[in-house]
Structure 1
């Protein structure tokens, strides 16, 4: 009897997808650059905030700020802003173009978020497959992406208030833009705190973001 040829696709090992990196190189590079820019902006922003507090009863300890003085903090802040904007655009563009944005963050529903949140509180939320985000992770990452956009826009409304009058008015005026900027910064600080805590609980997630696997 004549031998039957096996199609080439059948010769691919069943575990081939597992050999692919959890996070591609471009994602890891843009992730760490975004993290660097966001942290520099946050710490230098606190020094700028202390020079003219939005809320008089909230003052950031100098030891938690960057820049040493107002002028130095402004230089750090603007340098990090340009890095965040350009790198953020690359990050979003590659996520959308590669299809990763939809694949990783959707579908998402309030019911799924509540289910995974309750599982997390009970210590039963699985992190066995780091390729899959749970609903709480999806929501957190989407929120921080939107938050970073709000940070940049409100920052522009403060920095170039005369040049961007429409943006300033959308923020409710200069003073309200400062409040929006401060609140967006607080959201980012909360995200960073929770994110670091989760990495401490699941150290493998840090390794995959460093080496891809």
Structure 2
């Protein structure tokens, strides 16, 4: 028996996805401006890559966009858990499947299976979820080190929390780069994220 399985990307997923694109641009650009005021490494970001104009402006933008990111992230998590999207798309994930798909990806022979994620995609999305939580927790530690002193201690101090925040941000940028490259390699995946697309009928 066949049954219609709806859109490949339901509207809550699409709304959160595109909201997140805009939010993360604002978070990264304002965050880079804050970083420039007290660099962790021997480099700074060009002024045109920052948002806010000066340190106070960078911080204001970062905090303003942070609340939108928080609301969007919570909405995504709640809907994903209640709807079963997370369980259906991210699990199961076995070491054997991951090794096979990773080997295929390195040979540029990894197939995209529509709304069904391969093991590499599952790992990437699980990584970015964990990375996002790490970004939030380390960010709270930097923003309110006294109020969240327990978190600061968990990260090993304020300075180490800054490093964790920077590396988590770098992980997010790396994910984004890989994500964009995959879309370029398989451009037919872009339109369903805009329109929702349609899943093929499933057999029971």
How far did 1:75 drift?
Answer: 1.5
The answer for the alignment partner of 2:103 in structure 1 is 118
Larger radius of gyration: 1
Q: TM-score, normalised by structure 1?
A: 0.88
1:192 to 169, 173, 176: 176
How far did 1:15 drift?
Answer: 6.7
Distance in structure 2 (CA, Å) of the matches to 1:107 and 1:96: 15
Distance in structure 1 (CA, Å) of the matches to 2:155 and 2:146: 13
The answer for the alignment partner of 2:12 in structure 1 is 26
Q: TM-score, normalised by structure 2?
A: 0.92
The answer for the alignment partner of 1:94 in structure 2 is 79
Map 1:4-153 to 2 at 5 A: 14=2, 16-17=4-5, 20-55=6-41, 57-127=42-112, 129-153=113-137
Question: Unpaired runs of 5+ in structure 1?
Answer: 1-9
Distance in structure 1 (CA, Å) of the matches to 2:96 and 2:167: 27
- Tell me the matched-pair count: 197
How far did 1:35 drift?
Answer: 2.2
- Where relative contact order (Cα < 8 A, 6+ residues apart) is larger, the structure is 2
3-state SS of 2:8 partner: coil
Distance in structure 2 (CA, Å) of the matches to 1:16 and 1:163: 50
The answer for the alignment partner of 1:4 in structure 2 is none
Question: Unpaired runs of 5+ in structure 2?
Answer: 198-204
Root mean square deviation of aligned Cα: 1.3
Distance in structure 2 (CA, Å) of the matches to 1:38 and 1:146: 16
